[in-house]
Structure 1
Amino acid sequence: MSVLEDTKILLGELISFPTVSSDSNLDMIKHLADRLSACGVEVEIWHNETGTKANLFATLGPKRDGGIVLSGHSDVVPVTDQDWSSDPFEMEERDGKWYGRGTCDMKGFIAAAVAMAPHYAQLDLQRPVHFAFTYDEEVGCFGARALADTLREKDINPAVAIIGEPTSMRIIEGHKGCYEYTTHFIGLEGHGSGPDRGVNAVEYAVRYVSRLLELKMDLQQRAPANSRFEPPWTTINTGALVGGVAHNVIPGKARVEWEMRPVQKSDADYVKDELHKFCANTLIPAMQAVHPDAAIETEVIGEVDGLEPMDDNKARDLVMELTGANGTDVAPFGTEAGIFQDLGMSVVVCGPGSIEQAHKPDEYVSEDQMAQCLDMLGRLSAKLI
């Protein structure tokens, strides 16, 4: 059986596990662990706090620093209210395309990497190759952050990571981060006829949004020289402002849902520091002058670092050599890559399928894209011996 045919069979098996982020991924992780263990890969499974989900980290070759990580996330987005032409959790082939939820985002890469494991196992490996499959990427990269913590604790130090998100096999060496927050305002309700006797949570939320808009403009001046992103600066978006119950009631509660997409981590630190000072020095004292229990609390929904382009990037140079590409790109979408970069690795994003197919009904990956991915992974063999 060819490695492409084996990959296709394995991908069909992975698609049959409905690993929507709200559900467990344990059955799929066990299936992958069994496949890898069968060819001599040393597999570790690290569960989350509830035991309902797990990361898989597996290693072939010598136990030393400097290995290469092949990484993908196991979870997929829901199919609810999407109009599919076939069962999204039963892979179907039509006209050279493999359809199913997760085929390109991103079980296709996982299947290709695992299908290559028996080949790597036959080599006299001088450099370890690691397989890292995570949970909950789609809802905040929680699995990758837990994986990073475990790698630090165990002093495991790979040098290079290839994140197999769907890039149409283009090499992505940079993308913005994604930081999401909900800021809660706790004021004091009262009758609308006496606004000075209450603390209007909505009005303070509006002042907070006004500061966000000022920072939004400031960030345009902080854009790095020659930034390749579009737009080239860190962005802020106010997604929702919710509060109040009636025209004649001073609202006691409000919330602002907002996000920023940093091009550099220093921008995120700047925004958070400025907001903290504005709340601590201006808004909260004014609120508590009327009601001592008034407060502003910011809930972190997720803070996923971007992948910052680096002049010295061994992963980029390696994958350019493996694929024959003569250029790289940056991407508007987020991945787990920044988490691996923060561990000190050189990182690129490169995988089969198009991001244009991800999250949509009738998601697919083409057989040609899978063949290109397997060709890249096959050429990796020479870098492991």
Structure 2
Amino acid sequence: MTQSGAMTDAAATPRSLAWVRRLVAIDTTSRDSNLPLIEVVAQYLREHDVEPHVLPDESGRKANLVATIPAADGGRVGGVVLSGHTDVVPVDGQEWDSDPFEAVVRDGRLYGRGTADMKGFIAVALEALPRMLATPLNEPIHLALTYDEEVGCLGGAQIVKQIADLGIAPRACIVGEPTSMRVITGHKSMNVVAVTFTGVAAHSSLTPNGVNAIEYAAAFIRFVREQAQRWREAGPFDEAYPVAYTTGGVNVVAGGIASNTVADRCRLELDFRTIPAVAPGNVLELLRGEAARLEQLMQAENPGASVDVEVLAAVPSFEAEDGSRTVELAVALGATEAAERVTYGTEAGQFAGTGIDTIVCGPGDIAQAHGPNEYVDLAQLLACEAFVDRLIEHLRAGD
């Protein structure tokens, strides 16, 4: 194996292949429950005398899972977290060459929804469980599985609190998002905001009697576009990112009922992703200020009009600690050292925000995530298996 973790024998069969197939076969699209997958994992852990903490959300339809493989002396505090999200994005409207929920191997690749993002990493960790248990560890290994990462890292926000409540206090966390086994040391924040314009309906021949919600929403969309253009042209900039400035845009719009009716409602959703030099809270205040300005104009036409701003998701940015020992550890275990930051969000910022030295590193390429025919190279699974095997040996008592 090379230092980058790339396998030279791509024809070899990963030990984790059966587990990836098993996990992919469970449809955990974010709009649905992830409990069938959590129950499978929990039962597997119990069969190996590891009692998991299954931690439901308020609805009872979703759950996080935390499990600890203790140190040789029984210790459960400290150690390393292997973290992965269980949900996947929809396949609606995508044209796949095979059933997206039946993982199949073609040309050295494993195809299926979630193979890269990120059931491959979870499968590697689960397959390694017997070796973790058979090895006398000098500190514990924790498994942390979350729900609803794809819709705003909702489970991640809860699991860091749950880990704190359990008193585990890990010293390190590896979030196994697909990075081609490169060490990612930072990412932007990710924020999703819904803005609802409520106008007044009227017959389109009597427009002065109404307040057109779509027209005011269009003014807001233009404002967001102009702000995004200012970021692009004037910064601030951070060249560590492939897109070196804060971005934003309106991506969902719905409003109106008929062409001859003044629209009394329009709802839009936007997202913005900030570099560290731009505070998400300041951007949100900018958006709220423009919404308030437009609301005043609408209410000048009719006092019953309104604008409502709702934050749907707020995922913090992430920056690895200076001199991070977890970065050093990952490189020693075979990952590629890359002082690299990415534009997409992960749960790493939530773990790091609680003081856990965190990195992002896992099998597969983010470019393959979310699209039709998602895949992970078998060589990537093999590299991740070797990475976890080395982690277990690194934590062997006496080392």
Normalising by the residue count of structure 2, what TM-score does the alignment of the two structures yield?
0.85
Structure 1 residues 185-334: aligned runs within 5 Å: 185-190=197-202, 198-220=210-232, 221-224=234-237, 226-244=238-256, 249-264=261-276, 266-280=278-292, 282-323=293-334, 325-334=336-345
Q: State how far apart, in whole Å, the 2-side matches of 1:48 and 1:66 are.
A: 25
Q: State how far apart, in whole Å, the 1-side matches of 2:294 and 2:156 are.
A: 36
For 2:54, which of 38, 45, 50 is the aligned residue? Answer: 45
> What SS class does the counterpart of residue 56 from structure 1 fall into?
strand
Correspondence 1:140 to 2:152: yes
Correspondence 1:124 to 2:124: no
Question: Who is 2:117 aligned against?
Answer: 105
Q: State how far apart, in whole Å, the 1-side matches of 2:222 and 2:98 are.
A: 47
Please report how far the alpha carbon of residue 276 of structure 1 lies from its aligned counterpart in structure 2 after TM superposition: 2.3
Kindly indicate whether the alpha-carbon contact (under 8 Å) linking 1:166 and 1:350 is maintained by their aligned counterparts in 2. Answer: yes
For 2:44, which of 17, 32, 35 is the aligned residue? Answer: 35
Write out per-residue CA displacement over residues 235-269 of structure 1, whole angstroms, 9 at most, x where no aligned residue.
11122444445666543222332111112384311
Q: State how far apart, in whole Å, the 2-side matches of 1:29 and 1:267 are.
A: 35
Change (3 A) 1:361 1:287: closer
Write out per-residue CA displacement over residues 6-47 of structure 1, whole angstroms, 9 at most, x where no aligned residue.
422222222222222222222221221222233333311111
Write out per-residue CA displacement over residues 306-336 of structure 1, whole angstroms, 9 at most, x where no aligned residue.
3235424332222122115343322233222
> What SS class does the counterpart of residue 327 from structure 1 fall into?
strand
Q: State how far apart, in whole Å, the 1-side matches of 2:68 and 2:265 are.
A: 51
Change (3 A) 1:241 1:148: same
Matched-pair identity in %: 38
Correspondence 1:174 to 2:186: yes
Bigger drift between 353-362 and 253-262 goes to: 353-362
Write out per-residue CA displacement over residues 353-379 of structure 1, whole angstroms, 9 at most, x where no aligned residue.
222322333333222211111111111
Q: State how far apart, in whole Å, the 2-side matches of 1:92 and 1:210 are.
A: 45
Correspondence 1:337 to 2:348: yes
Question: Who is 1:21 aligned against?
Answer: 30
Kindly indicate whether the alpha-carbon contact (under 8 Å) linking 2:291 and 2:309 is maintained by their aligned counterparts in 1. Answer: no
Question: Who is 1:381 aligned against?
Answer: 392
Question: Who is 1:150 aligned against?
Answer: 162
Structure 1 residues 53-68: aligned runs within 5 Å: 53-61=62-70, 62-63=74-75, 65-68=77-80
> What SS class does the counterpart of residue 113 from structure 1 fall into?
helix
2:246 is matched by which residue type in structure 1?
T
Question: Who is 1:79 aligned against?
Answer: 91
Change (3 A) 1:248 1:14: closer
The two structures, once aligned, show a CA RMSD in angstroms of 2.7
Q: Which runs of 5+ in 2 are unaligned?
A: 1-11
2:284 is matched by which residue type in structure 1?
K
> What SS class does the counterpart of residue 139 from structure 2 fall into?
coil
Q: Which runs of 5+ in 1 are unaligned?
A: none
Kindly indicate whether the alpha-carbon contact (under 8 Å) linking 2:362 and 2:384 is maintained by their aligned counterparts in 1. Answer: yes
Kindly indicate whether the alpha-carbon contact (under 8 Å) linking 1:4 and 1:370 is maintained by their aligned counterparts in 2. Answer: no
Q: State how far apart, in whole Å, the 2-side matches of 1:217 and 1:362 are.
A: 34
Question: Who is 1:359 aligned against?
Answer: 370
Question: Who is 1:12 aligned against?
Answer: 21
Write out per-residue CA displacement over residues 67-126 of structure 1, whole angstroms, 9 at most, x where no aligned residue.
211011112233344333333333333343333322222111111111112212123323
Kindly indicate whether the alpha-carbon contact (under 8 Å) linking 1:175 and 1:308 is maintained by their aligned counterparts in 2. Answer: yes
Count of equivalent residues: 381
Q: State how far apart, in whole Å, the 1-side matches of 2:215 and 2:250 are.
A: 16
Kindly indicate whether the alpha-carbon contact (under 8 Å) linking 2:335 and 2:387 is maintained by their aligned counterparts in 1. Answer: no
Kindly indicate whether the alpha-carbon contact (under 8 Å) linking 1:265 and 1:305 is maintained by their aligned counterparts in 2. Answer: no
For 1:163, which of 163, 166, 175 is the aligned residue? Answer: 175
1:354 is matched by which residue type in structure 2?
D
Kindly indicate whether the alpha-carbon contact (under 8 Å) linking 1:41 and 1:121 is maintained by their aligned counterparts in 2. Answer: no
Q: State how far apart, in whole Å, the 2-side matches of 1:86 and 1:242 are.
A: 33
Kindly indicate whether the alpha-carbon contact (under 8 Å) linking 1:72 and 1:134 is maintained by their aligned counterparts in 2. Answer: yes
Q: State how far apart, in whole Å, the 2-side matches of 1:92 and 1:50 are.
A: 34
2:17 is matched by which residue type in structure 1?
K
Q: State how far apart, in whole Å, the 2-side matches of 1:276 and 1:40 are.
A: 52
> What SS class does the counterpart of residue 348 from structure 1 fall into?
strand
Q: State how far apart, in whole Å, the 2-side matches of 1:104 and 1:213 are.
A: 32
Write out per-residue CA displacement over residues 202-246 of structure 1, whole angstroms, 9 at most, x where no aligned residue.
33323323432343244354525x431132111111224444456
1:235 is matched by which residue type in structure 2?
T
Change (3 A) 1:93 1:209: closer
